[in-house]
Amino acid sequence: MPSKLRTKPLVATSDSESSSLSSAPGDEDFDFEPAKTTRANTTAPTRSSTITRGATSKRDSIANRTLEGRGLKRSTIQDTPAAKRTRRRSRQVYTDEDGTGSGVIKGSIEKTQKWKKNSAVVKLEYPEASGEQTTSGTAQKPTRKKSRRKALHKTEERQNEEEAEDTPKKRKRKRKTKEEKEAEAMPLTMRTLGLKMLIGAHVSAAKGVQNAVTNCVHIGGNSFALFLKSQRKWQSPAIKPEHRDQFKALVKEHNFDAKSHVLPHGSYLVNLAQDDLAKAAQAYGCFLDDLQRCESLGIKLYNFHPGSTLGHPRKEAIARIADALNRAHRATSSVKILLENMAGSGNVIGSTFEDLRDIISLVDDKPRVGVCLDTCHAFAAGYDLRTPAAFSSTMRTFSDIIGFTYLSALHLNDSKAPFGSHRDLHQNIGLGFLGLSAFRNIMNEPAFEGLPMILETPLGDKGTEVEIWAREIKLLESLIGVPPDDPGFLVKEKELAEQGTDERKKHQVVFDRKVEKMRKASIKGKSKGRERLTEGSERGNASAGTSEVGSGSESCSH
């Protein structure tokens, strides 16, 4: 018995029953020439059988394309005499030549006259599964056909892929991380700490000193100041060990250097010039406690206000301050104490560079003493910083009297009060009488590189410190390398100056009234008020004596 072939017929239909249409295979009687199988081939035969006919039609070409999509070729059909076309076609069955089932020898075509549409069934020869030579006793299994449904499915997939390539892909929205949400809440993203100018602000240390580090990070600063305890109390609880450890860990995590990037501020209550023994002891105890807190946190710098003479001779008051510093140095091992210049006149110590020089000259351990230069205080005391020429002159004066060796930090503040007013009124950068030009001079002074530069500018409502200080830090950094005649800088300077016009006018009126009052007092012979008014503008240098401090000190680049 010949083996039964596993073949799947391919059906093609015509739109007409007319036997006169030569393109309609349903009315034709076909003769087939049996195809011989070859068992000595070294390669697989092609997937086709040969059936010829004379004419082709559009439907034939469609059928051919369908077969080609399946990896097959349509057989051509032999033309038969017209007389035979009217015959009823009989079924023909084609079997293997040798009964081995190794390949299809013939196909069959049949017509059912009851159908309205003609159909043609063509059996096709499949290639052998392997290209190797077959033995005489072994049948080669044909390669299994893929179903039409699967082929169409793959075609649709390819079309969908092509359409997807033509259509621009919709970007999938990435879900924001917690860190990204926190960064969006900040007006200024955190930057690296490799800048030469270390700009920051006096941030809050509420609920623990460790919070000062993160508060600085939130404003984009790379240096910061803080209070190590309440500045309004003589005694405060010690720093908790866990807060101390967290502070050190956060400083390391955010790449701060506690020895040069952190500048704690001393208590406002302390006056080391106090002549009363009990009060002096109380002030010194509070002062020393701050220094010990610095050492426990690994902080090297500490800034404080020198104090007041309280009506006593200035020379004696300065000596008491220096004596307290010497005792504090002996009680500690590493903290460097910085004297802040002051704005006031009269009994206030430190409003002139000479006061600071005289204190330093009496300190034994000079490497552990320095100066923190406050821009608002200097301007109010009569040291001009506004123009490049005035700034250079003031820096030369500082270098000649104190020396840049002792300059260790800066407080960056504009001034609400006019020049030489001796009023300590801080203003936001660019809005006060100093103006943006003064800070452009500061940000381009090479002698200030690597020094902590701390903003103490006023804030608005609670919670606005992040926005205000972040904006001012970015503004100050933008001034680095900018020449004084830069068009963009001049526009920004004018814009900020206009914002502070009303505030400046108000304080100018107050200052003018004070000047007029002192002028009238001087006419009556009360010269004391006049001397106090002119002290700042003359910078207090006329009566200053010589000192070892400042001799041989570094000179300013200007």
Integer Cα distance of 141 and 129 in angstroms: 6
Helix (H, G, I), strand (E, B) or coil at 251: helix
Residue identified by tokens 């200080």 is 469
DSSP symbols for 359-415: HHHT-S-GGGEEEEEEHHHHHHTT---SSHHHHHHHHHHHHHHT-GGGEEEEEE-EE
- In this structure, the dihedral spanned by the alpha carbons of residues 151, 155, 157 and 161, taken in order and rounded to 10 degrees, is 150
How far apart are alpha carbons 471 and 455 in whole angstroms? 11
Alpha carbon distance 188, 317 (integer Å) = 45
For each of the chain's 558 residues, which pLDDT tens digit applies?
444 444 444 444 444 444 443 444 444 443 444 444 444 444 444 444 444 444 455 566 666 666 566 555 555 545 555 555 545 554 554 444 444 444 444 454 444 454 444 444 444 444 444 444 444 444 455 555 555 555 555 555 566 555 555 555 555 566 656 655 554 454 443 443 334 799 999 999 999 999 999 999 999 999 999 999 988 889 899 999 999 999 999 999 999 999 999 999 999 999 999 999 999 999 999 999 999 999 999 999 999 999 999 999 999 999 999 999 999 999 999 999 999 999 988 899 999 999 999 999 999 999 999 999 999 999 999 999 999 999 999 999 999 999 999 999 999 999 999 999 999 999 999 999 999 999 999 999 999 999 999 999 998 777 677 889 999 999 999 999 999 999 999 999 999 999 999 999 999 999 999 999 888 888 877 555 555 555 544 544 433 343 444 433 343 443
Phi, psi of 297 (to 5 degrees): -95, -5
What span, in angstroms and rounded, lies between the C-alpha atoms of 448 and 453? 9
Interaxial angle between packed helices 314-331 and 353-361, expressed in degrees from 0 to 180 and rounded to the nearest 10: 50
User: Which residues have C-beta within 8 Å of that of residue 305, sequence separation ≥ 6?
Assistant: 266, 268, 270, 340, 342, 350
Q: In this predicted structure, what is the pLDDT of residue 23?
A: 41
Please give the full DSSP string across 73-108, using - where no structure is assigned. Answer: -PPP-----GGGGGSPPPP-----SSSS-SS-----
- Which residues, listed in sequence order, are joined to residue 370 by a DSSP beta bridge? 338
Beta strands in 109-247 (DSSP E): 119-122, 198-202, 223-225
Note the helical H segments in 199-255: 210-218, 241-253
Angle at Cα 411 formed by Cα 398 and Cα 299, nearest 5°? 105
Q: Within the chain, what is the greatest distance between any pair of CA atoms?
A: 150
CA distances in angstroms from 259 to 213, 300, 335, 452, 465, listed in the order given: 14, 5, 9, 10, 25
What is the pLDDT, as a whole number, of residue 283?
97
Question: What residues contact residue 531 under an 8 Å CB cut-off, 6+ apart?
Answer: none
Q: How far from the centroid of its chain's Cα atoms is residue 4's Cα? A: 74
pLDDT at res. 101:
46
Query: Among 312, 384, 385, 301, which residue's Cα sits nearest to residue 337?
Result: 301
Look-up of token digits 């195809």:
35
Pairwise CA distance, residues 369 & 356, whole Å: 11
- Cα-based distances in Å from 268 to 23, 232, 306, 498: 110, 7, 10, 34
Among 190, 183, 75, which Cα is nearest to 122's? 75
- Catalytic residue ranges: 232, 265, 268, 305, 340, 374, 377, 411, 424, 426, 456
Domains of the chain: 1-157 (no CATH), 198-514 (3.20.20.150)
Which conformational region is residue 123 in: left (phi greater than 0), alpha (psi within -120 to 50 degrees), or beta?
A: beta
Model confidence, pTM: 0.62
Confidence (pLDDT) at 30 = 39
3-state SS, residue 174: coil
